[in-house]
């Protein structure tokens, strides 16, 4: 019976291959919890950068008789970077869920310099605590399953990003957090309580807590003008990298690697992987339709800005008011790529970026 289930077309894998992926996803999710969600994603950036760099190198020298196709870049991006080792739907998702669990189970672990709810501290590495690693492992498997099933169904978006979002919301439900949370300002989009440093009232109606009433995802990257500006810049650079190398994901890798500095406490490092990725996609879509590299770069900048703004709306609605991390870049990628996927299926775009539809 078990083997028959694993042979269904939706999964599209042999039993043994699926078992290998399942076991690896358990370890990958635990790995994400051990390192912490953000550090594990930094590793995603390094691995993707390596894989894409080798792929570009292979493309340059692949005509040489001594080197066969695939002999250099042996699927590093897909198998490891976006796979069971550092795939965001597995390692990052496991880390996010582990942090949500620890926020309720171990509030005493909350660092003194962390101003938000501990369930949002995705910088925190949980080391070797078995129950926290187990949570990461379970959500790593859940993230893998969501990605595999949605991919098998042909759902027209980036299903890794979709899985990151889905597992984050499931973690909120599993560990007793509200989906949106109590709004501190005049609306879910209002960040002014943060600017006034207002504190949240205790849930029992008592005195104020140390927690801020509104907690923007990035205190240095939430104003509309700044998000738009970095969106244009990052989008153009993502598009330029694709034009020069043919890699859609190389800019994404560079953006993810840059978060090492954010993790190390360097202030005001922008988060841009959702911006550079969609910038590259904008150039990919624009070139066949327009045929002009300068205009393609302008389209890339526009796509980057749109993706940044979608991320900002997402954080204002789903991040700022509850107690766990729901990833705004993943929401932006999943939402934007879904729209692009539908437009392609409707015959309105020349291609679907990297979706392979």
**So what's the pLDDT on residue 210?**
73
* Tens digits of residue pLDDT in 239-270: 999 999 999 999 999 999 999 999 999 999 99
Closest CA to 261 of 252, 250, 270, 274: 270
If you average pLDDT over residues 344-357, what whole number do you get? 96
Q: Residue 113's pLDDT band (boundaries 50, 70, 90)?
A: confident
Q: Which residues pair with 163 in a beta bridge?
A: none
**Rg of the Cα atoms in the chain:** 21
Phi-psi region of 214 (alpha: psi -120 to 50; beta: other; left: phi over 0): beta
Two tokens, residue 331 = 């929401």
Give 270's DSSP letter.
Answer: P
Give 246's DSSP letter.
Answer: -
Which burial class, exposed, middle or buried, applies to 61 when counting CB atoms under 10 A from its CB (0-12, 13-18, 19+)?
Answer: exposed
If you average pLDDT over residues 11-29, what whole number do you get? 91
CA distances from 38 to 141, 159, 225, 345 (A): 18, 20, 26, 34
Alpha helices in the chain (DSSP H): 2-6, 15-35, 37-61, 93-105, 130-152, 159-174, 192-195, 224-245, 250-263, 273-290, 293-314, 328-345
Distance, CA of 166 to CA of 96 (rounded, Å): 12
> Mind spelling out the 3-state secondary structure of 112-150?
CCCCCCHHHCCCCCCCCCHHHHHHHHHHHHHHHHHHHHH
CB 190 within 8 A of CB 215: no
Closest CA to 118 of 187, 17, 211, 232: 211
**So what's the pLDDT on residue 68?**
46
If you average pLDDT over residues 271-291, what whole number do you get? 97
Two tokens, residue 337 = 């790529």
CB 42 within 8 A of CB 185: no
**So what's the pLDDT on residue 300?**
98
Distance, CA of 176 to CA of 121 (rounded, Å): 17
**So what's the pLDDT on residue 1?**
42
Two tokens, residue 238 = 């993502």
Given a cut of 50, whether residue 204 has pLDDT beyond it is no
Q: Each residue of 298-307: b (16+ CB within 10 Å) or e?
A: bbbbbbbbbb
Q: Residue 2's pLDDT band (boundaries 50, 70, 90)?
A: very low
Q: Residue 208's pLDDT band (boundaries 50, 70, 90)?
A: low
Helices 37-61, 250-263: axis angle to 10 degrees equals 150
CB-side neighbour CA atoms (13 Å) of 215? 25
């Amino acid at each position: 019976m078990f083997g028959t289930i694993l042979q269904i077309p939706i999964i599209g894998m042999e039993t043994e291959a699926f078992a290998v992926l399942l076991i690896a996803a358990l370890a990958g999710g635990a790995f994400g919890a051990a390192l912490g969600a953000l550090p594990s994603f930094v590793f995603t950036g390094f691995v993707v950068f390596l894989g894409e760099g080798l792929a570009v190198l292979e493309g340059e020298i692949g005509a040489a008789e001594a080197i066969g196709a695939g002999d250099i870049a042996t699927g590093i991006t897909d198998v490891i970077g976006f796979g069971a080792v550092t795939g965001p739907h597995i390692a990052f998702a496991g880390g996010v869920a582990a942090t949500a669990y620890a926020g309720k189970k171990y509030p005493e672990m909350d660092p003194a310099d962390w101003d938000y709810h501990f369930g949002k501290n995705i910088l925190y590495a949980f080391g070797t605590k078995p129950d926290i690693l187990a949570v990461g492992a379970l959500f790593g498997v859940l993230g893998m399953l969501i990605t595999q099933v949605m991919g098998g169904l042909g759902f027209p978006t980036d299903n890794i990003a979709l899985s990151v979002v889905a597992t984050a919301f499931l973690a909120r439900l599993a560990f007793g957090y509200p989906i949106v949370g109590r709004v501190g300002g005049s609306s879910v989009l209002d960040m002014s309580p943060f600017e006034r440093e207002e504190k949240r009232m205790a849930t029992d109606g008592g005195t104020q807590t140390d927690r801020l009433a509104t907690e923007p995802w990035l205190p240095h990257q939430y104003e509309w003008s700044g998000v738009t500006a970095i969106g244009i810049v990052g989008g153009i650079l993502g598009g330029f990298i694709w034009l020069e190398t043919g890699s859609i994901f190389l800019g994404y890798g560079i953006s993810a690697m840059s978060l090492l500095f954010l993790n190390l406490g360097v202030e005001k490092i922008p988060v841009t992987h959702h911006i550079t990725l969609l910038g590259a996609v904008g150039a990919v879509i624009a070139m066949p339709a327009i045929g002009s590299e300068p205009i393609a770069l302008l389209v890339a900048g526009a796509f980057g800005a749109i993706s940044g703004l979608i991320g900002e709306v997402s954080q204002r609605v789903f991040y700022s008011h509850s107690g766990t991390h729901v990833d705004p870049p993943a929401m932006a990628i999943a939402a934007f790529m879904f729209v692009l996927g539908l437009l392609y299926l409707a015959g309105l775009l020349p291609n679907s970026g990297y979706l392979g539809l």
